[in-house]
Amino acid sequence: MHKKRFFTSSFAALCLFSAAVHGQSSSAHQEYLQFAQNDHGEVRLDDGRTLYYTVKSRSLENGVEVIRAQVDDPTLADFVDYSSFIITLDHTKQEMSGYLETGSGQFRLQRPLDKSENVFWRRIQPPKMEDRILKNLDTGFMGRLNQEAVGEKDASGRYVIDVFIGFSEQAAQDVGNINTEAQMYVETVNEALNNSQVEGVYLRLVGVGVSPHNPGVVTSVLQDGKEWFKDDIARYAPDLIGLVQRPTDAPGSAGGWGYVPGDIVVIGAPWPGAYRHEVGHNVGGMHCKSEGDTGYNYGFSVRQGRGTAQCGNDLSYYSSPLVMDDEGNVLGTTHSQDMARLWRERSAAMSANRIHTVPFPGEGGWPLTLQAEDYLQFSDTTAGNQGGAYRSDDVDIEATSDSGGGYNVGWISDGEWLAYSANIPAAGEYVISYRVASPSGGGRIQFEKQGGSPVYGGVDVPPTGGWGNWTTIQHTVNLPARPAKYCSGDEKRRLQP
């Protein structure tokens, strides 16, 4: 695994303006039934056009059905594998959210006041973007990003970036169903990653919330929002936080704001496409490349109205030199416009921003075995990997002589630590077991919560007669029902109730 490259921290904004509304429509209930029951149908746009859709896939996420579809858009006629239509359905309430991108504009489902009123697909004008630079004051976050990470993967082996979406009460009123709306935001990113051939990572919605605060789409929300939703953040441990506001006339308002890089964004409720753009900023992306700009974290645009997520945000793509549009235009360059590369490089670090508390699909089996070499974070006092195996950071790893093979961590000094993810299913006593080897003993392993306090317990390492002579040691600790971070050790660690 190679070292990640990270760019200068900054701040970016996306300004958007909505268009006037007119055209044909149907009732909200009819629209819901169409997508719930049919894999083919029509979408009537407020510009007078009628497009026909075909469902590509249906899945269930957090009780919300996610539909990905294609439309017969004549302006994107040759985009065979391009998917740009997302519908999310709440079958309990028979409500839905939707976001459609065409070659001539982006559309969202207009929310009616009640289910009997007509709905229509309203056009959103392409965004106008401007950069503002602001250094990220969270040095802890920046340090984690610049540290090589294994990341958090589900059973399929993909990195999972957990997301929490917090709405103001006013924004929640505007969008209607916050569950379908939040899931739709997340899927705009997942669809762009899929279109851009970025595999092995996806965003997962783990929670939604509502706050009475609505200053608007301004930069102060990025600081204040973590306080408004601190209980939700503690509960869901999201890697990324998205905030949704009703736009106001406050100074500095925009369509969206996001740290570059960072773990929090804010968007205006009328502009769902801003979420994909701002999350691109969180990963480290900038806007369109200008003369003199360096790095490959820029968006790409073929021309006006044909830009990727960070440069125009017209198409459901992140820039990539490996992908072409329907006209045969390559949507990036290897030297400066390759957001897909940045996503691949940062997926592990982004997924490890917080230790997940919502179990991954299929997760939860006990006893739980954690491999010492698969740490999420570390502190090591010496430069380089003295063992020369498995990873290329400063933790010392070598091939192990213990039964079962694999690797062990060695050359451990006082004060060094390794951090791991473990979802503790219930508060109570747990037996922590370690596989260790030491010719003369004398060391001690300490087990503690992330951040160093409280210390749950420790155990002395006995002499085993040689570096290749392995034994199991264990101790009992009392743990709360939450993730833990623990430190030092040698090869295999076994956590069992």
Whether domain 1-15+128-361 has CATH 3.40.390.10: the reply is yes
Looking at residue 453, its pLDDT comes to 82
pLDDT, block means (10 residues), the chain with 497 residues: 29 37 59 92 88 91 90 68 83 91 84 61 69 63 68 92 98 95 97 95 96 96 96 93 96 92 94 95 92 92 87 92 86 95 94 89 72 84 92 91 85 88 75 89 86 86 91 87 53 35
Identify the CA nearest to 409 among candidates 396, 419, 418: 396
Looking at residue 482, what is its pLDDT?
Answer: 62
Query: Which residues lie closer than 8 Å to 365 by C-beta, 6 or more apart?
Result: none
d(CA 118, CA 215): 31
The residues, any chain, with a CB within 8 Å of residue 291's CB and separated by 6 or more, are none
Q: ∠ CA 87-305-329 to the nearest 5 degrees?
A: 95
Tokens of 344: 């691949």
Spatial separation of the C-alpha atoms in residues 391 and 48, rounded to whole Å = 57
Cα separation of 4 and 14, whole Å? Answer: 27
CA distances from 338 to 18, 154, 214 (A): 29, 26, 35
Beta strands in 228-314 (DSSP E): 240-245, 256-260, 264-268
CA distance 341 to 333: 11
pLDDT of 136 reads 67
Question: What pLDDT, on a 0 to 100 scale, did the predictor assign at position 1?
Answer: 27
User: Beta strand pairing status for 128-132 and 10-15?
Assistant: antiparallel
- Residue 239 tokens read as 């890697």
pLDDT computed for residue 328 by the predictor = 83
Q: What is the pLDDT of residue 491?
A: 37
Q: Do domains 1-15+128-361 and 368-496 have the same CATH topology?
A: no
What's the pLDDT score for residue 424?
A: 75
Question: Domain locations in the chain?
Answer: 1-15+128-361, 19-124, 368-496
414/382 Cα distance (integer angstroms): 11
Distance CA 308, CA 406 (A): 42
Fold of 368-496: Jelly Rolls (2.60.120)
CB 93 within 8 A of CB 103: no
